[in-house]
Structure 1
Amino acid sequence: MDTRELRFARAMVFAIEEINNSSDLLPGITLGYQILDSCASVPVAVELAFQFANGLQQLYDSKKGCVRSGRVTAIVGESGSTPTISMSRIIGPFDIPQVSHFATCACLSDKTQYPTFFRTIPSDQFQADALAKLVKHFGWTWIGAVRSNSDYGNNGMASFLRAAHKEGICVEYSESFYRTDPQSKIQQVADVIRRSTAVVVVAFTATGDLMFLLEELTRNPSSPRQWIGSEAWVLDQLKRVNFSRNGYHVSFDANGDPVAFYELINWQRNENGVLEYVTVGHYDDSLSLGQKFTIRRNISWADGGMKAGRTIH
């Protein structure tokens, strides 16, 4: 079971309840929801998209003693870019808006192909630029790169490689794989990493894919590597969404994308040896050029050392 997807679903339920209990977000409107599991499968995602396009099943309202059918006004999801693309191509012609919380492929910003798509996570184009600046800042000009063999990984890595080239960063290798590949393929990618001289690896991979690669690497560990990892209406109305909640601002640009904002997370062990996720900095694309990228806390490196951070201009 993917507990992260469960957390996403619970977050959506929480958000809907917040909206229904609020007097200023959608006054006079009550939202309902139905949660379906795509199992991270493109064929299942396509099947569910057709179900949504055909309308919901009839529901029995015990309070009113009647049967009613709901109408889908928007779809939240998918998490992966490839299933999201498949769903968007089906529901787009029906003018059903789709809002994804985790599909980051830059290709989804093309409104000619995905006219009803929105997302609350920035496009990978912004992430690729931020990653390239991060790598350049620490003087890593000789790196390796791995990616998921999917729309997310292939498009994201292509954007990163272009940004890295502009920053003068050289890439020793760029390998792709997918979690359903034969073990021999994943072992081949692991062997490339083991033989390489680059001590920094940039990974544009889904969590489910990276897990298989890391497990293979632990079977025959090489020298330590520093890993850098990547993240009609509820239709015209969505284009005008603009509100703040719990300290976060929500709005969409002309491509259906939000303003890019990333927390830079570093895995650190506390005094008890327990691994913690520590926010060491931020990347905020809404700020001026010299203020976008900021590191304010110490960073734990692959060799166990700590290095102080600083504001980057």
Structure 2
Amino acid sequence: RMRFLCLVVLFVLCFKSYECSPETLTIPAVINLPFPAYHSAKRLAIEDINNDPHILPSTKIVLEDHLIPNTPPIITLMMDLHERNISVTVGNEYSGVSTQTGIVGAIFDIAQVSGLVTSPLISDKTTYPYFNRISANGNGQMFALIDSIRYYSQTVGRGWSEVAVISHTLLFGVTLAETFIEGAGNDITVVTYQQFLYQSDEYDQEMREIKTSGARVIVCMLYAPAWDTLIAAANETGLVGDNYVWITPSPLVGSPIFKRETDVAPELARGLLGMFEYFPPTDTYTRFLERWQQLDPEEYPGTGPGEFPTLYTRLSYDMFRLTCLAANEIDKQGKLDLEHIPAELWAETIRKITFEGVTGPVALNEFGDRITDYSQSFYNPDTGTWTISAVWSKEGGFQPFPDVEVVWHSNSTSFPDLDIREPFHYWSCDDKEEGYDGTGKTISRQTPD
């Protein structure tokens, strides 16, 4: 009996002092996007955890990088992780990839944490029980986008309520386009919906259809690499200018795509509106930014003086921190040294974690989705930055910032005139001369008695 009591005491002491914790914990990062700054953010997150005496004090996090853009080799990797009893991964930015790996994770008992994926399908916990993300369900972006169009339609008037939608044929674009079209309601008319093949450089037919539709508001669902060629094709078709408004969801806002040194695409994006999760300014981010700009870019690509981490980069940092904080909680339960940590335990623990990250307050709902409001930003090619001009929440709706005005494609803050009508020639009975109304709306036409 005395021996039994001694063993119990030893176990309690071991549990409380983390002496039963594993020496290392391997976290595989499956990365679909090759942007160097993402790796710098991952590295910083792991270094911060390993140097914090209050988080996993007896365990060193080991990052295992896998740059894999496509699904089949990722599934092979997950089978290998299962054989190695690794039951949590981070990464998988593409929705099309994540909807496949999420199913595989359920089969092989592997939890996943993504920083970027937005597909609404992931919220289905029957199919994706162990998938979590610190990005939000993309439907929220569409609800915010719809309300922003309603706001401008009510504020400015005619021309805003007729909308063209164009998306690539991948899952991300199609699902968000469907959400937008279904949610538009009676006061917004989708006059045309066009799709193009991903990685295609041919947009002639789609642009002609949009031009023919007469829409002046164009909602574009695409991944960042397609932007350059698509907007150039739109410009050649006459769909870019002071009397057009382009709106896009998160990929263009979050990625470093506009830092490419092209001659045309950045200028064509002047006044582009973008939707994203809303990350309020915090002291945590201020400290992170100061540190980011003091780092050596040779050692940490994408950092250095004058460099700002993109929204995607910040999400990558918080993705790792969330996962490590969950590991710390599992360690406190004395279960981090299990031969196989159940994916269900990972998922349940991850969804209970809350903290202030470099993207603001981080908390997930019961579906493993980020709880957040949304922002609308506009792009300025002169500074290469997005500026937040409004915020949207389910409770408060679309709320423009009173001290920030959108700088539109005209490079002014005056609302664009989207009420463009067919010009016409006319005869003035009063002036006894022929005239021409180039706006199609200045002169009121009447039939003489």
1:179 to 166, 177, 198: 198
Q: Partners in 1 of 2:359 and 2:131 — Cα distance? A: 25
8 Å contact from structure 1 (residues 92, 115) kept in 2: yes
Query: Is 2:80 the counterpart of 1:51?
Result: yes
Please give the secondary structure, in 1, of the residue aligned with 2:207.
Answer: helix
2:347 to 217, 235, 249: 235
Q: Partners in 2 of 1:307 and 1:53 — Cα distance? A: 57
8 Å contact from structure 1 (residues 53, 91) kept in 2: no
Query: Is 2:368 the counterpart of 1:256?
Result: yes
Please give the secondary structure, in 1, of the residue aligned with 2:149.
Answer: helix
1:283 to 392, 411, 436: 392
Superposed CA RMSD in Å reads 2.5
8 Å contact from structure 1 (residues 178, 209) kept in 2: no
Deviation at 1:171, TM superposition (A): 0.7
Query: Is 2:401 the counterpart of 1:295?
Result: yes
Please give the secondary structure, in 2, of the residue aligned with 1:180.
Answer: coil
Query: Is 2:188 the counterpart of 1:153?
Result: no
Query: Which residue of the partner structure matches residue 147 of structure 2?
Result: 133
Residues 57-136 of structure 1 mapped to structure 2, 5 A cutoff: 71-136=85-150
Q: Partners in 2 of 1:274 and 1:83 — Cα distance? A: 33
2:210 to 193, 196, 214: 193
Please give the secondary structure, in 1, of the residue aligned with 2:163.
Answer: strand
Q: Partners in 1 of 2:51 and 2:101 — Cα distance? A: 30
Deviation at 1:274, TM superposition (A): 4.3
8 Å contact from structure 1 (residues 143, 172) kept in 2: yes
Letter in 1 for 2:167: R
Alignment size in residue pairs:
282
Query: Is 2:29 the counterpart of 1:15?
Result: no
8 Å contact from structure 2 (residues 207, 237) kept in 1: no
Letter in 2 for 1:89: I
Deviation at 1:282, TM superposition (A): 2.4
8 Å contact from structure 1 (residues 128, 159) kept in 2: yes
8 Å contact from structure 1 (residues 145, 201) kept in 2: yes
Query: Which residue of the partner structure matches residue 34 of structure 1?
Result: 64
2:245 to 217, 226, 238: 226
Deviation at 1:247, TM superposition (A): 7.0
1:108-160: per-residue Cα shift (whole Å, max 9, x none)? 00000001100011101111111100111100211111112111111111111
1:199-225: per-residue Cα shift (whole Å, max 9, x none)? 110112111233332232244444522
User: Quick one: structure 1 residues 14 and 112, their matched pair in 2 at CA, closer, same or farther if it must change by over 3 Å?
Assistant: same
Q: Partners in 2 of 1:143 and 1:247 — Cα distance? A: 32
Please give the secondary structure, in 1, of the residue aligned with 2:127.
Answer: coil
User: Quick one: structure 1 residues 165 and 291, their matched pair in 2 at CA, closer, same or farther if it must change by over 3 Å?
Assistant: closer
Letter in 2 for 1:52: L
2:182 to 156, 162, 176: 162
Q: Partners in 2 of 1:301 and 1:268 — Cα distance? A: 9
Please give the secondary structure, in 1, of the residue aligned with 2:225.
Answer: helix
Letter in 1 for 2:360: Y
User: Quick one: structure 1 residues 130 and 229, their matched pair in 2 at CA, closer, same or farther if it must change by over 3 Å?
Assistant: same
Please give the secondary structure, in 2, of the residue aligned with 1:147.
Answer: strand
* Structure with greater contact order relative to length (CA < 8 Å, sep ≥ 6): 2
Q: Partners in 2 of 1:47 and 1:292 — Cα distance? A: 44
Please give the secondary structure, in 2, of the residue aligned with 1:278.
Answer: strand
8 Å contact from structure 1 (residues 144, 202) kept in 2: yes
Larger Rg: 2
1:163-204: per-residue Cα shift (whole Å, max 9, x none)? 2126x20011111123334x44x2211222333311110112
User: Quick one: structure 1 residues 305 and 254, their matched pair in 2 at CA, closer, same or farther if it must change by over 3 Å?
Assistant: same
Deviation at 1:254, TM superposition (A): 0.8
Letter in 1 for 2:211: R
1:304 to 411, 423, 431: 411
Letter in 1 for 2:365: D
Q: Partners in 1 of 2:227 and 2:183 — Cα distance? A: 22
Please give the secondary structure, in 2, of the residue aligned with 1:34.
Answer: strand
- Identical-pair percentage: 20
Letter in 2 for 1:249: P
